[in-house]
């Protein structure tokens, strides 16, 4: 039992200070939890800056094809890391908005984009493509020895626009918050 073991404090009969909350027109104790928006503008803004930076770095350093990635292990590693970070930011922001809106949490990161689409916060086609981006992120993180450089190069050439489109949507959410 609490307080019955040596060294543990004994239970008290009073709770946290209740102050005269009735006098202040409050319906709960002063120290009670008050719901508030989870969207922290600074966090979202910083994440968007990280996303923008990662995409700029990829655009600047990408050699254009798989041969270029193979020729420079350092550039390949940088491209893979920036791509991973960019996708992670998208996942993080998706979860952030879902929690803020009180929507049912997704079962996995890929489903986070489907949740956004189901509530009209994101285009359904973009949500589906971002699910594929989550698969790429998982490959880069967990199956890094199996990365097909041709597919990676094709993704960088053709699909970065989806991450940029997500960034634009997230910037709109920030304006609406």
Q: What does the pLDDT average to over 22-47?
A: 57
Predicted pLDDT at 77? 96
Integer-rounded Cα radius of gyration of the chain: 23
Q: Which of 78, 79, 93 is nearest to 43 (CA)?
A: 93
Query: Which of 134, 140, 81 is closest to 108 using CA atoms?
Result: 134
pLDDT, average across residues 163-169: 96
Q: What is the predicted pLDDT for the residue at 16?
A: 40
Cβ 30 vs Cβ 19: under 8 Å: yes
What are the structural domains of the chain?
41-176 (1.20.120.580)
- Cα 88 to Cα 27, 39, 66, 67, distances in angstroms: 41, 17, 23, 26
CB contact set of 133 (below 8 Å; sequence gap of 6+): 87, 90, 159, 162, 163
Q: Give the model's pLDDT for residue 80.
A: 97
Answer whether 0.85 is exceeded by the pTM: no
pLDDT computed for residue 39 by the predictor = 64
pLDDT band per the 50, 70, 90 thresholds, residue 169? very high
């Amino acid at each position: 039992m609490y307080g019955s073991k040596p060294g543990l404090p004994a239970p008290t009969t009073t709770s946290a200070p209740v102050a005269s909350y009735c006098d202040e027109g409050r319906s709960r104790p002063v120290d009670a939890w008050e719901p508030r928006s989870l969207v922290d503008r600074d966090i979202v803004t910083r994440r968007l800056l990280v996303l923008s930076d990662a995409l700029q770095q990829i655009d600047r350093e990408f050699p254009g094809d798989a041969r270029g990635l193979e020729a420079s292990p350092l550039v390949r590693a940088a491209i893979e890391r920036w791509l991973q970070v960019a996708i992670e930011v998208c996942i993080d922001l998706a979860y952030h908005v879902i929690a803020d809106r009180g929507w049912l949490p997704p079962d996995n990161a890929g489903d986070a984009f489907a949740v956004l689409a189901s509530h009209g916060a994101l285009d359904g086609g973009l949500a589906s493509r971002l699910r594929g981006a989550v698969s790429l992120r998982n490959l880069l993180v967990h199956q890094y020895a199996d990365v097909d450089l041709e597919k990676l190069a094709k993704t960088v050439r053709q699909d970065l626009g989806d991450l940029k489109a997500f960034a634009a949507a997230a910037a709109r959410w920030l304006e609406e918050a």
